Amino acid sequence: MFALTEDIPIDKVSVALVVEPFTSAPVCAMYFNMAKMRGYDIKTLIGTTQNDILTMTVGYIPYKNVAPNHLLRLACDFIEWTVPMKNVPRWHPINFTGYNYREGGIDAVQELAFVFASACSHIDNLVDRGWKAEDFVNRLAFHLAAHKDFFEEIAKYRAARRIWATLMKDRYNIQDPKSMEFRFHVQTAGSSLTAQTPKVNIVRTAIQALEANLGGCQSLHTNSYDEAICLPSEEAALIALRTQQVISEETRITNTIDPLAGSYFIEWLTDEVEDRVLKYIDKIEKVGSIDKALSTGFLYKEMRDAFHKRRARIEKGEEIFLGVNKYPEPYDTCTDVFRTNESAIEIEVDRIKKLKARRDNAKLETILDKLRNICEKEENVMPIIMEATKEGATVGEICNIYREIWGIWEPPLAI
Amino acid sequence: MSDKKIRVLMSKPGIDGHWRGGIVVSRALRDAGMELIFGGFQNIKEIVESAIHEDVDVIGLSIHSGAHLAYTQQVIDLLKERGVLEDILIIVGGVIPAQDFPKLKEIGVANVYGPGSLVSDIVEFIKERIIK
């Protein structure tokens, strides 16, 4: 953590820690311990932890995971410890990352429905623990996609704001308008980019960035044009950054809030998206809370059907990719490919070996035993994980305790 | 020609969680009448052992981590050591720069499928190469 944040003024910069419920507690605990050791008051820190249960189940598949009910508990433990318990009150302890599952093939309606059904399950869990929704809902964050259908995406952001405000007001009796605000980050669609004529990706990304701006996003990630080829090179990442700066700093688009409001098409589309999302949320909630929707395989099947449908559309040429299924071009071989440092593995293994030799292993074992106990009860795991990581526990050691107590879960992949 | 089905092991070497490509291709191969063994996350030894135990005709390696050259080389080396390299067709797919396609073919990969590949092409290629 010290090396990772070297020269970064972490009291001024909002840091995004992209870790999911399985690893968010130990990784974030390491971050908070580092901040404390550097002399910062963690109550003042700003940042976001992804901590999204759907990302690590239907989005990606992590290595030797535990079952969804335990993941939901871990996600809620982290939210509870940071915000309502006021240990890191300005932190965004969860970021419902519709982007990640949208990339897997679901449509705009499903993206919002997955996000809201999941958010409600987390709020319900914390309310069951005795907290009031207004104690924490204003710290929940969202991360949506900017995909290929220009107007539909803009309508999606508008519908999302309405749905969230209504949910907060009607379902959770929120009074404070600030807590009804749907604040969201947008990422342009990686799965819309091609390995053929990759510079065309700059144009695609710019158009998607425009959607996000017209739709009123709070922050934006523009993808690099080499997305379909490799991890971003420095040049590609810089062009991506400049692309969004052209929009936000040169065009004055951001001077107007909701500039497309009143357009007959946008208003109709917003109503339509809202209506369909509400119906789809009902469909998910009929199965149960988000962990049930996962463990029964329901969401996996919905994902599977969506991405096989999308694949068929692409193969039939109904969804167009220039350079791939229309005006085909060969793969580009001129792009400067970014290569990771293969010896990084050895550096990291060596570092962990040294850590294990240096720390007080007997003391750590006692702390890890306490974590075993807490996992079996309904007590928040964060305080003991703060202690364990301070004594040098690794992410792997913490996760292995989860696996030991709760068992490894085989996801119902439904191929 | 017998009515024996083509057997394919689909595997993800390493712990990178980008599974979608592997699942999409697996489904398409199954729909095309092949028998699919979905290995999921496997280390090199597990890939080779399950390929031998399951008597597969094809190993599909799905790689999105950038480590395609190293992983594929390790799989091929171990297959060779176990004396089964000649019996198994190896195909690789994922986010792989076109610059690396020739390198992968040089070390013994039958074909490489980058982003935007049609799964129907993969099915056709396997059916052409594995005559049962």
Q: Which chain A residues are within 8 Å of B29, Cβ to Cβ?
A: none
Cβ-contact A372, A401 below 8 angstroms: yes
Q: Do the Cβ atoms of B66 and A230 come within 8 Å?
A: yes
Q: Spell out a b/e string for A335-371, using b for 16 or more CB atoms within 10 Å of the CB, else e.
A: bebbeeeeeeeeeeeeeeeeeeeeeeeeebeebbeeb
Number of Cβ pairs < 8 A linking chain A and chain B: 80
- For residue A326, the 8-state DSSP code is B
Only one residue has tokens 């490799």, namely A230
Q: Spell out a b/e string for A183-192, using b for 16 or more CB atoms within 10 Å of the CB, else e.
A: bbbbbbbbbb
Sheet containing B58-63, strands listed edge to edge, beginning at the edge strand earlier in sequence: B35-42, B7-13, B58-63, B89-94, B111-113
- For the entire predicted model, the pTM comes to 0.94
In this complex, is the C-beta atom of B27 within 8 Å of any C-beta atom belonging to chain A? yes
Q: Do the Cβ atoms of B114 and A331 come within 8 Å?
A: yes
The pLDDT score that the predictor gives to residue A71 is 97
Q: Do the Cβ atoms of B20 and A333 come within 8 Å?
A: no
C-alpha–C-alpha distance, residues A324 and A197, integer Å: 10
Nearest by Cα to B85 from B42, B126, B36, B47 = B47
The backbone torsions φ and ψ at residue A54, rounded to the nearest 5 degrees and listed phi first, read -75, -30
pLDDT at residue B2 is higher than 80: no
Q: What is the set of domains in chain B, with CATH numbers? A: 7-129 (3.40.50.280)
Closest-CA distance of chain A to residue B19, Å: 6
Mean pLDDT in residue range B70-96 = 96
* pLDDT profile of chain A (415 residues), mean per 10: 91 94 97 97 97 92 90 98 98 97 95 98 98 96 98 98 98 95 97 95 98 97 95 95 97 95 98 98 98 96 91 92 94 87 90 96 98 96 98 97 96 82
Q: Do the Cβ atoms of A342 and B115 come within 8 Å?
A: no
Closest-CA distance of chain A to residue B43, Å: 12
C-alpha–C-alpha distance, residues A241 and A385, integer Å: 36
0.85 surpassed by complex ipTM: yes
* Nearest residue of chain B to residue A57 (CA atoms): B17
- For residue A381, the 8-state DSSP code is S
The pLDDT score that the predictor gives to residue A287 is 98
Nearest by Cα to B90 from B129, B38, B33 = B129
C-alpha–C-alpha distance, residues A76 and A129, integer Å: 10
- E-state strands within A173-316: 184-188, 219-221
Chosen for mutation from B23, B25, B65, B113 (greatest number of chain A CBs closer than 10 Å) is B23
Cβ-contact A380, A80 below 8 angstroms: yes
Q: pLDDT confidence of B75, banded at 50, 70, 90?
A: very high
Nearest by Cα to A33 from A399, A398, A389, A393 = A389
Chosen for mutation from A229, A395, A410 (greatest number of chain B CBs closer than 10 Å) is A229
Q: Do the Cβ atoms of A230 and B24 come within 8 Å?
A: no
* Averaged pLDDT score across all residues of chain B: 93
Q: Do the Cβ atoms of B36 and A415 come within 8 Å?
A: yes
Q: What is the set of domains in chain A, with CATH numbers? A: 15-315 (3.20.20.240), 344-406 (no CATH)
- For residue A115, the 8-state DSSP code is H
The pLDDT score that the predictor gives to residue B3 is 65
* Nearest residue of chain B to residue A413 (CA atoms): B23
Cβ-contact A294, A56 below 8 angstroms: no
